[in-house]
Amino acid sequence: MIRPSLPRFLNYGDTAHFSVILQNQTDQSLLLHAGLRATNAKLLTSQTNQQAVGYSIVIQPSKRAALRFPV
């Protein structure tokens, strides 16, 4: 299950973290790939011109993990 947690609104020049909760509802470990691609926004990563960022994560059975994407 994927549950986003986004700010209600942003204004020009604001920074925020887009959070996503990933929950493994199975009885096996899952390898997941999650990513964010921006249009008309700048992702705050070590590479200033990067327009996409992603994660690979293993979630154990019946566990959850939170990912944060700085924007």
Q: What does the angle CA 15 – CA 32 – CA 41 come to, to the nearest 5 degrees? A: 20
**pLDDT at residue 25, as a whole number:** 94
Give the closest residue to 38 by CA, choosing from 11, 8, 69, 66: 69
Q: Which residues contact 7 (CB under 8 A, 6 or more apart)?
A: 16, 18
**pLDDT at residue 44, as a whole number:** 65
For 35-62, what is each residue's pLDDT tens digit? 777 776 666 665 555 555 678 889 999 9
**pLDDT at residue 41, as a whole number:** 67
**pLDDT at residue 14, as a whole number:** 82
